[in-house]
Amino acid sequence: MEQCTNQIALRGSLVSLPQFSHENHGRKFYRFFLEVPRLSGVSDILPVVVEESILQEPDLSCGGMLSITGQIRSHNVRSDGQRHLLIFVFPTKILCEDGEPVNEVTLEGVLCREPTYRRTPLGREICDLMLAVPRAFQRADYLPCILWGRTALEGSQCHTRDRIRISGRLQSRIYTKVTPSGSEERTAYEISALSAQFSPEVM
């Protein structure tokens, strides 16, 4: 299958200065969070993992807003005997640039498991998808997406290996997880689709 689309553009405020995350093949990576307000007034607090060389360009002490372009990445980690899917933004460019908040995502990949369709208590239609978006070196990012309304109904009729193209935003959502030691507040990250295009199974 050919390389698929994975693009994100953000403009928001730096929550805290970048902290060292890890080193891989001699390259150092740093992690920080970007706050991007929605029109509703709620803000998405989004994780960013960036290579050291990209950080050398902007002056992050400027105190203004940052514009980021890059991709959404996923990484599987194991903790407490369970696998967890980490979602983060991987920038190719960062600029100190004031302006209106931006949160724009375009993805194209294949459905890697059957959709989950449901309704909220108020009757709103929702469909959860897991999209496999290929990248270099025969790897893929596994990205959770959520569809709404009529688009959710269309998405619920898709099947594994169908190709889907989504335009929307990356959002953060706080939920409560019940564990043997009690309830824990956690944050999930997912792409909320504004529009979607569906294609038949990829051979």
* Residue-wise DSSP of 31-89: EEEEEEE-TTS-EEEEEEEEEHHHHTSS-GGG-SEEEEEEEEEEEEEEETTEEEEEEEE
Task: Return the CATH number of the domain spanning residue range 6-101.
Answer: 2.40.50.140
Cα-to-chain-centroid distance, residue 110: 16
The model carries a pTM of 0.90
Mean of all residue pLDDT scores within the chain: 90
Q: Which residues neighbour 162 within 8 Å (Cβ) at sequence distance 6 or greater?
A: 110, 111, 198, 199, 200, 201, 202
User: Buried (b) or exposed (e) across 134-149, using 16+ Cβ within 10 A?
Assistant: beeeeebbbbebbbbe
Mean pLDDT is lowest, of 57-61, 89-93, 194-198, for 57-61
Residue 2 reports pLDDT greater than 60: no
* Nearest CA among 43, 44, 42, 46 for reference residue 31: 46
Q: C-alpha angle with apex 195: 193 to 200, nearest 5 degrees?
A: 100
Q: Which residues neighbour 21 within 8 Å (Cβ) at sequence distance 6 or greater?
A: 29, 30, 31, 49
Q: What is the pLDDT of residue 161?
A: 93
Residue 202 reports pLDDT greater than 60: no
Could you tell me the two tokens for 134?
């290929």
Residue 183 reports pLDDT greater than 90: no
Residue 89 reports pLDDT greater than 50: yes
Q: C-alpha angle with apex 134: 57 to 173, nearest 5 degrees?
A: 70
User: Would 6-101 and 106-201 be classified into the same CATH topology?
Assistant: yes
What value does the mean pLDDT take over residues 29-43?
94
Terminal alpha carbon distance of the chain: 9
Domains in the chain: boundaries: 6-101, 106-201
Residue 48 reports pLDDT greater than 60: yes
Q: Confidence class of residue 203 from pLDDT cuts 50, 70 and 90?
A: very low
Amino acid symbol at 123: G
- Residue found under tokens 């294609």: 199
Share of the chain above pLDDT 90, in %: 70
What value does the mean pLDDT take over residues 8-29?
94
Domain 106-201 -> CATH class: mainly beta
Could you tell me the two tokens for 24?
């891989």
Q: Confidence class of residue 93 from pLDDT cuts 50, 70 and 90?
A: very high
Residue 134 or residue 203, greater confidence: 134
Q: What is the pLDDT of residue 1?
A: 39
Residue 136 or residue 154, greater confidence: 154
Q: Confidence class of residue 121 from pLDDT cuts 50, 70 and 90?
A: confident
